[in-house]
Structure 1
Amino acid sequence: MSDSTKAYAAPARPATTPLTAMLRTAAIPTILVGPIALVIAALTGGGKGVLGSFLGYAVTLTFFALGMIVMIRFATVRQPLIFMATALAVFFGQLIFLLLVILLLQDADWLDGRAFGLTALVVALVWQAFSILGYLRARRPVYDTL
């Protein structure tokens, strides 16, 4: 069999994609931020502060983790336009989810809104910073292998 008639075998895809590296790198520090925020909220805001902080932590962590998991599921799509459409749909879904949470909790007097907002902000900043770090450290092919 000549070289021109041999079946082409595509190289194996790396086990870790930039998105999985981003998820792994961002999840651990973000999970560690939660207990610190809860302790600070307990010291400064009491029970309402702890409840607000916990809810802000849970909503924000869920918000970012689910979005990244959905993107990982669609990472195998070979067409860039479909992948970008999926990314925009995930982002739009996250905005709607966050808007619904804010609308549901805007008149909640059983939690501290300041603790909720500050915890959500800190968790979001930690997630974004470490997901960028994960992306920068991920092994990405410079050219398409197919």
Structure 2
Amino acid sequence: MAISTAVVGGKGLLGAFFATLLVIVFFASGQFALDRLTRNNPQMMMAAGLLVYTTQILLVAVVLAVFKRTTLFDTKVFGFTLLGCALIWTAFQVRGAMKAKIYYVQPDASESKADKPGDSGRQQ
């Protein structure tokens, strides 16, 4: 926002502010929706993630189409800030997913040695 204010002025600041606000609102609500969709059915994570992300991009496209010819703020600053913030948000989501310790095998602690399939009741 500081760079856009220095380069373009007040309209640049307003465009950068609206773009930042738009990314925060759309992507945070998408994260909330994804959490709600996959809370009871984690197997749907990939499909729900794709649906949420596609919906977010379509909503951003609608907003861009609506404000294409506005004189309220600088549309170039708005577009570049929107792109930059969306890429930063996505990069931090990827980083968070890479750092998360998500087990792909669920250990079953209730199963004892005698109950394992290979032992079938043999006594030692």
The number of equivalent residue pairs is 108
Find the aligned partners of 2:101 and 2:46 in 1 and give their Cα distance: 21
Residue aligning to 1:96: 58
Residue aligning to 1:132: 94
Residue aligning to 1:47: 10
Unaligned runs of at least 5 residues, structure 1 = 1-37
**Which AA in structure 2 matches 1:144?**
Q
Change (3 A) 1:94 1:53: same
Summarize the alignment of residues 69-88 of structure 1 with structure 2, pairs less than 5 Å apart: 69-78=32-41, 80=43, 82-88=44-50
TM-score scaled to structure 2, two decimals? 0.76
Contact 1:77 1:83 in 2 (8 A): no
After TM superposition, what 4+ stretches of structure 1 lie above 6 angstroms from structure 2?
none
Contact 1:42 1:50 in 2 (8 A): yes
Find the aligned partners of 1:65 and 1:121 in 2 and give their Cα distance: 16
Counterpart among 6, 20, 30 of residue 67 in structure 1: 30
Task: From the CA coordinates, give the structure whose radius of gyration is larger.
Answer: 2
Bigger relative contact order, structure 1 or 2, given CA contacts below 8 A and separation 6+? 1
TM-score scaled to structure 1, two decimals? 0.66
State the Cα deviation string for residues 81-125 of structure 1 (Å, max 9, x = none): x44443333233213311220111001012111110111111112
